[in-house]
Amino acid sequence: MLFPKRFSCFSRNIGTHRQNRNIFWNGCKQYQVPRSLSIKQAPSPQQFDGETSDLYARVFSQHYDENGPWKKMVNAAEVVLQNNNAPKILDLATGPGEPGTLLAKRFPEGKILLTDISPDMVEKATEMVSKNGIKNATVKVMDAQDLNGIDNDSIDVVTCCYGFMFCPEPEKAFAEVSRVLKPGGFLIGTVWVRLPFMIMLKNIMESVLGKTPPPPPINPLSMAEKGLVENLVESADMEIVDSMEGEYSFAFGTEPGSDPELAFKLVTLPTRSTLIDLAEESIPNAFEIAKTAYERELKTEMYCKLQTNGGIVTKPNCFKMFVAKRR
């Protein structure tokens, strides 16, 4: 067995989380779409720039949660790197800078390259690296599907937290990861499996459109389909050596003094560009309809709980972390 002891901590989680999920989500349908559709609807880089990057930065801090992905990814990197204290690590789709920054702190003798397709995100990640006084990390604009400029067989560990699902051609991203990894190097990735607030968003968009909405342009669940990640890993000449599922909730706009509109903006973030287009082109009151539907959905308490200041806490979200080894 490749990862006998320490990885078993990941696998142990699966049973517990599955039980929890069944209690919470019995009967709930996931806002999930066929792969072909989700890939066609993948976002352009601009969809993560501008106001979206600011709103996304609000969601970002949620992933520091004890049960969130980043600590688990850093732990997984420690396990796979064993005694290598000066690894070369590539963080894809780093957004405002994680888990790359945590990895740079954990491996001060290593070299960490943080990358993202959005120049606005790269600016935020650069700020994060410099705010933390980190000297062993660099930040670059880079498309995960084209790692041109990174040598073959040169990286010990590639990380990608919630990034592959936004690539229009994820098979290219996995092939590039395999190309740049050293033989025997590791990919540590995370994808969303279940996001209860996306069901709420689907209901909201159904009210706006008067029919079942198409998949959102930014679809965080586009890699939730069972077996999809595993097939992509296999077809890129890598093998899954471990995987786990974990759960944590989001708290949107719950801090004292938060903008009362913030929770609404964050829930509708994946369809923000669609709402803007609809408001400009065909449904001038698209945002008002969405807001009324949002308030209606809140009352059901099926997907989240309203707080006294207008913020919300979502029912637990579920992600999958996988560790793959290059053959």
Ligand X SMILES: C[S@@+](CC[C@H](N)C(=O)[O-])C[C@H]1O[C@@H](n2cnc3c(N)ncnc32)[C@H](O)[C@@H]1O
Residue ranges that bind ligand X, judged by CB under 6 A = 48, 60, 63, 92-95, 98, 116-118, 121, 143-145, 161-163, 166-167
- Smallest distance from the beta carbon of 170 to ligand X, in angstroms? 9
- Smallest distance from the beta carbon of 132 to ligand X, in angstroms? 16
- Smallest distance from the beta carbon of 30 to ligand X, in angstroms? 18
Find all residues with CB under 8 Å of 210, minimum gap 6, and list them: none
Comparing CB distances to ligand X, the nearer of 286 and 322 is 322
Comparing CB distances to ligand X, the nearer of 43 and 110 is 43
Comparing CB distances to ligand X, the nearer of 128 and 233 is 128
Comparing CB distances to ligand X, the nearer of 139 and 289 is 139
- Smallest distance from the beta carbon of 4 to ligand X, in angstroms? 28
Comparing CB distances to ligand X, the nearer of 270 and 289 is 270
Comparing CB distances to ligand X, the nearer of 192 and 303 is 192
- Smallest distance from the beta carbon of 69 to ligand X, in angstroms? 7
Find all residues with CB under 8 Å of 23, minimum gap 6, and list them: none
Asked if residue 123 lies in contact with residue 31, where contact means CB atoms within 8 angstroms, the answer is no
For 321, the 3-state DSSP assignment is strand
d(CA 212, CA 217): 15
- Smallest distance from the beta carbon of 2 to ligand X, in angstroms? 26
Asked if residue 182 lies in contact with residue 153, where contact means CB atoms within 8 angstroms, the answer is yes
Amino acid code (one letter) for 87: P
- Smallest distance from the beta carbon of 207 to ligand X, in angstroms? 26
Q: 236: number of CA atoms within 13 Å, CB side?
A: 28
Q: Which residue do the tokens 């793959």 mark? A: 324
- Smallest distance from the beta carbon of 161 to ligand X, in angstroms? 3
d(CA 59, CA 96): 11
Residue 48 structure tokens: 């993560």
Comparing CB distances to ligand X, the nearer of 128 and 204 is 128
d(CA 100, CA 159): 8
Comparing CB distances to ligand X, the nearer of 214 and 217 is 217
Comparing CB distances to ligand X, the nearer of 107 and 162 is 162
DSSP category for residue 308:
T
d(CA 46, CA 230): 29
d(CA 309, CA 299): 15
d(CA 279, CA 281): 6
117 closest CA partner among 85, 70, 64, 164: 164
Residue 305 structure tokens: 């709980």
Asked if residue 76 lies in contact with residue 321, where contact means CB atoms within 8 angstroms, the answer is yes
Which residue number has the CB closest to ligand X? Answer: 95
- Smallest distance from the beta carbon of 117 to ligand X, in angstroms? 4
